[in-house]
């Protein structure tokens, strides 16, 4: 278990903190005395589980909501970019960008940008949640705007993998650029029982498979509480680190320091992702 005592009295914002590994990480931080902000798209659902934590509205699939959230924030010591969606049909964000990349990567990149001055003033920290799916990402040094906002021949699985590869690449590039001023650590939760998989099946018209998923749950999945441990350990590790379980092909186990996947470690790909992200967001990222 991670010692979270350094976070007592500190302000920690966690996106998607109302569910899954985000909620478990938020509860552990709250128990350690942190001032936790759940940044969530559904205020009612978040308030129902908040238990003394602050709830604020944030829809990562709407860049105006991200900008409003950032400009209304007055202090933050740590930002945990945890929210995510997986799979589903081709849908767009409010700005018309493909929804998985729009939510998982672009919304978080915009949020990091908006909160960066506060994080820098606090000599704070950013934790970015990636996935083992990042190992299958196909982003390369020749990507263009369309690869992020309107991927050709949409297939939900590969697009999710690319969005999680983008999370890992972005964490590395951000660390290279700002790591001496704001620590940046990436993490992944292995394969953990949360709403992510059942929602994907429902979104893809396969709700009938959810009971089967429940059946294999103890074999395939670790608990959401176990899946939150890499997030918590990432709060104490050096900038540039990557944290996750190692056992069973990284599906489960205690949070350990990992080597960054080859798909997430090429500086040329990360630099290109940075440029294209700036182009889509229409503003420079923190440097
Ligand atoms: N579970 C796993 O095995 C696994 C494996 C690898 C990586 N991950 C990553 O772990 C992170 C957390 O996922 P989870 O497994 O805990 O799933 P989860 O229980 O479904 O939680 C996802 C959270 O993201 C929020 N969210 C989705 N779209 C959003 C948006 N547009 N704006 C703001 N919040 C939004 C969800 O809000 P609502 O409740 O309103 O939908 C929810 O709070 C994700 O980044 C995921 O990719 C999970």
Q: Is the pTM of this model over 0.85?
A: yes
Instruction: Name the residue of 194, 234, 245 to mutate for ligand 1: max ligand atoms within 8 A of Cβ.
Output: 194
Give CA–CA dist 162/139, Å, rounded. Answer: 6
Separation of CA 248 and ligand 1 centre (Å): 22
Q: For helices 108-121 and 63-71, what crossing angle results, to 10°?
A: 10
Q: For residue range 161-172, list pLDDT tens digits in order.
A: 999 999 999 999
List CB contacts of 85: < 8 A, sequence separation 6 or more.
99, 100, 103, 104, 196, 199
pLDDT of residue 3: 96
Closest CA to 91 of 78, 100, 104: 100
The confidence score (pLDDT) of residue 10 equals: 98
Cβ(188) – ligand 1 distance below 6 Å: yes
List the domain boundaries for the chain: 8-190+227-279
42 lines ligand 1 (CB under 6 A): yes
The Å distance, Cα 72 to ligand 1 centre, comes to 23
Q: What's the Cα-to-Cα distance from 246 to each of 89, 101, 166, 249, rounded to whole Å?
A: 31, 26, 21, 6
Q: Residue 81: beta bridge partners?
A: 128
Span from the CA of 155 to the centroid of ligand 1 (angstroms):
19
Task: Provide DSSP, 220-275.
Answer: H-B-HHHHTHHHHHHTTSPTT-EEEEEHHHHTEEEEEE-PPPGGGT-HHHHHHHHH
Terminal Cα distance for the chain, rounded: 33
Residue 231, ligand 1, Cβ within 6 A:
no
Which SS3 state, helix, strand or coil, does residue 142 take? coil
pLDDT of residue 287: 82
Q: Is 84 in the pocket of ligand 1 (CB under 6 A)?
A: yes
Tell me whether residue 154 is one of the annotated catalytic residues: no
Q: Is 82:25 a contact under the CB 8 Å cutoff?
A: yes
The domain defined by 8-190+227-279 folds into: Rossmann fold (3.40.50)
Give yes or no for residue 235 CB within 6 A of ligand 1.
Answer: no
Q: How many angstroms separate the CA atoms of 164 and 134, rounded? A: 5
Q: Give the residue, out of 16, 38, 193, with the most ligand 1 atoms within 8 A of its beta carbon, to mutate for a pocket test.
A: 16
Ligand 1 in reach of 166 Cβ (< 6 A): no
pLDDT in tens, 26-60: 999 999 999 999 999 999 999 999 999 999 999 99
User: What value, to the nearest 5°, has the Cα angle with vertex 41 and ends 38 and 45?
Assistant: 70
pLDDT of residue 268: 98
Name the residue of 164, 196, 228 to mutate for ligand 1: max ligand atoms within 8 A of Cβ: 196
Residue ranges, the chain, pLDDT below 70: none
């Amino acid at each position: 278990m991670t010692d979270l005592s350094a976070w007592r009295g500190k302000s920690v914002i966690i996106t998607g903190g109302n569910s899954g590994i985000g909620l478990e990480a938020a509860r552990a931080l709250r128990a350690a005395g942190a001032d936790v902000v759940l940044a969530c798209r559904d205020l009612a659902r978040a308030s129902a589980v908040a238990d003394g934590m602050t709830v604020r509205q944030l829809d990562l699939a709407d860049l105006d909501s991200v900008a409003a959230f950032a400009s209304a924030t007055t202090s933050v010591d740590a930002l945990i970019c945890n929210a995510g969606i997986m799979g589903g049909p081709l849908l767009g964000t409010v700005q018309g960008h493909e929804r998985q990349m729009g939510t998982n990567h672009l919304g978080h990149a915009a949020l990091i940008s908006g909160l960066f001055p506060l994080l820098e003033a606090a000599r704070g920290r950013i934790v970015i949640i990636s996935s083992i799916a990042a190992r299958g990402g196909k982003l390369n040094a020749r990507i263009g705007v369309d690869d992020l906002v309107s991927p050709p021949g949409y297939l939900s699985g590969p697009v999710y993998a690319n969005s999680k590869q983008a999370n890992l690449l972005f964490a590395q590039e951000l660390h290279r650029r700002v790591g001496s001023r704001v620590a940046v650590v990436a993490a992944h939760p292995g394969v953990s029982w949360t709403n992510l998989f059942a929602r994907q099946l429902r979104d893809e018209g396969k709700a009938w498979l959810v009971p089967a998923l429940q059946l294999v749950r103890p074999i395939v999945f670790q608990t959401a509480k176990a899946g939150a441990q890499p997030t918590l350990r990432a709060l104490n590790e050096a900038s540039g680190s990557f944290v996750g379980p190692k056992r069973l092909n990284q599906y489960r186990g205690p949070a350990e320091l990992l080597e960054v996947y080859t798909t997430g470690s090429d500086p040329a790909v990360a630099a290109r992702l940075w440029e294209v992200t700036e182009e889509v967001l229409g503003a420079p990222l923190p440097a």
